[in-house]
Amino acid sequence: MNALFPAGFRWGSATAAYQIEGAAHEDGRTPSVWDTFSRTPGKVRNGDTGDIAADHYHRMRADVALMKEVGLTDYRFSVSWSRIQPTGRGPANQKGADFYRALCDELLEAGIRPVATLYHWDLPQELEDDGGWPERSTAERFAEYAGLAAEALGDRIATWTTLNEPWCAAFLGYGSGVHAPGRTDERAALRAAHHLNLAHGLAARVLREAVPPSTELSLTLNLHAVRALSDAPEDVDAARRIDAVGNRIFLDPVFRGRLPADLIEDTRHLTDWSFVRDGDLETVSAPIDSLGINYYSPSVVAAGTSETPSPWPGAADRVRFPPAPGPRTAMDWPVDATGLHELLVRLRDELPGVPLLITENGAAYDDYADPEGRVRDPERVAYLDAHLAATHRAIADGVDVRGYFLWSLLDNFEWAYGYGKRFGIVHVDFASQRRTPKDSARWYAEVIARGGLLR
């Protein structure tokens, strides 16, 4: 018996601008924080940059043809802020806008719904030079950029996502420093988190006024499926702390119009939160039409001390992350689809009436083309099958999940890992830019065609 998904379920894949586009210096694009960070010695493995990446900027039409071949109903991509609005200020760059208009037109011609993310971590470097996300002005600039993007693409985009994973932008970028811009300041990280929330609210307001009423507005969070190592009170409290600074720091402002009281208490030694102004949380909590969830693996936590600098402001001196059991991906992330089911059920209970999209889910493995040119990736197929099965169970349990976006369509620039980690269902030979659909691409095409899993 097949495990079929509801009629109209959205079958997608996802990418990000800096990871695939390349053309870093073409048609008016200016540097982002990732251009700068990747050129900083020791920050990115092998000194790799996104200058060329998967060269999607020049190979877009062929890539859309691959999407059509797989059978995608939706394609989630991000818009490069510094391609649309160089330096983060001023009018739209028409050549940059033309690229995204052409992409949307190609998608629509192929019968694929365009899903656009305004921000996937590539802040224009000039805005970082002015202080970046720890400064309120960056949120205000983001709202202006949202208006330019809506003017250029609003008649073509079915779903606008304001931010992708603000936790990573705030806490990996300004806390642990392992992502661009590479700063290590817990106080700045907390300020960045609030201003990212504010940017979401301001941009959502602009989009509501600028795009057709039928357009879906969304936000994507990488929520953490947090599990205490034991029932000991100190381990349970460690899980609470991580849930506060990993999940509720975004969920509560967006959906409840408040900051978690325990988060404020946990971080009292770092900040008094006076950067949160009257009216901010009302702006942040404006209604949205769906919530995107990015999930890869669960997080096991226990009392102890984690490495510093840490992406967990207020928790590093009290929390450690013991390894989770089970098989692991090439990223050394545990494979455990039950965490996705748990997370979806939690959101069903805590956010009734909010439709959900799984906007990223996938795995990196050490893929290669064999002598026959075939890329066999059975571990990825097993990973995806298990996580889609978990999604199907969640839907059966009453969770309103409306779509699944596999990460990722193409092998790409994997941030600080450079080109050493492959998440794509399409193999990219970066020397020749040759695309080869992996076995997982054929498997996903069959899943989409039948509308579900074989069981």
Catalytically active residues are 165, 360
Q: CA 183, CA 30: separation in Å to the nearest integer?
A: 21
Residue 257 structure tokens: 């119009």
Q: CA 154, CA 407: separation in Å to the nearest integer?
A: 25
Residue 154 backbone phi and psi in degrees, to 5: -60, -25
Provide the greatest CA pair distance for the chain: 63
Which strand (E) or helix (H) includes residue 407? strand 401-407
Residue 447 structure tokens: 């899943």
Beta-carbon contacts of residue 372 (< 8 Å; ≥ 6 apart): none
Closest C-alpha to 221, from 331, 82, 354: 354
The total number of residues written for the chain in this structure: 455
Give yes or no for a contact between 365 and 328, defined as CB atoms under 8 angstroms apart: no
Residue 270 structure tokens: 């770092």
**Straight-line distance from the first to the last Cα atom of the chain, in angstroms, rounded to the nearest whole number:** 5
Q: CA 284, CA 290: separation in Å to the nearest integer?
A: 15
How, if at all, do strands 452-454 and 2-4 pair? antiparallel
Alpha carbon 330 to its chain's center: 19
From residue 307, alpha-carbon distances to 44, 88, 296 in Å are 19, 34, 22
Q: CA 328, CA 337: separation in Å to the nearest integer?
A: 12
**98: how many CB neighbours lie within 10 A of its CB?**
12
How, if at all, do strands 290-294 and 226-228 pair? unpaired
